[in-house]
Amino acid sequence: MSTDAQQNKFNVRVFCVTVLLLVTADTFINYKNKNEALDLRFNGRIDSVSYNLKGQASIFIKGVQYDLFYQKWDFDHNRIQKGDSIIKKKGSIQIKLIRPDGNSLIEGGDN
């Protein structure tokens, strides 16, 4: 076998191992994030809200900060506002956001 063929075979193996490691890492991170999201529980009126560069919201309820990091929570900039009420039950992915006028929306879908 020529050295070019051996190098190509080596490159394919390295590529396959790299892809496998990336998929495994992504699966682990998603699993960890879901478990952390399931563990969160809050209920109250939002004192303040800020967004990071990725667009993920951080809210304060009664002086406690909660980071809304989970990928199924799609709270774009300005979607959450000070004065909104928000409910997240432990063991559920769903978040219910209630506007002061009574309108509500739910993020997160099924567990």
Alpha-carbon distance of 17 to 73, in angstroms, equals 32
pLDDT of 34 > 90? The answer is no
- E strands of the chain, at which residues? 42-51, 57-61, 64-68, 85-88, 95-98, 104-107
Encoded tokens for 53: 């560069």
Q: Residue 84: its pLDDT value, please? A: 94
As a whole number, mean pLDDT of residues 82-109 equals: 87
Distance of CA 59 to the CA centre of its chain: 14
The count of residues in the chain is 111
More confident residue, 52 or 109: 52
Alpha-carbon distance of 91 to 40, in angstroms, equals 8
Encoded tokens for 42: 């809050």
Q: Residue 98: its pLDDT value, please? A: 92
**Residue 83 per-residue DSSP state:** T
Range scoring the smallest mean pLDDT among 26-30, 35-39, 80-84: 26-30
Q: Which parts of 1-111 fold into alpha helices (H)?
A: 3-39
Ordered by start, the domain boundaries in the chain are 40-107
pLDDT of 90 > 60? The answer is yes
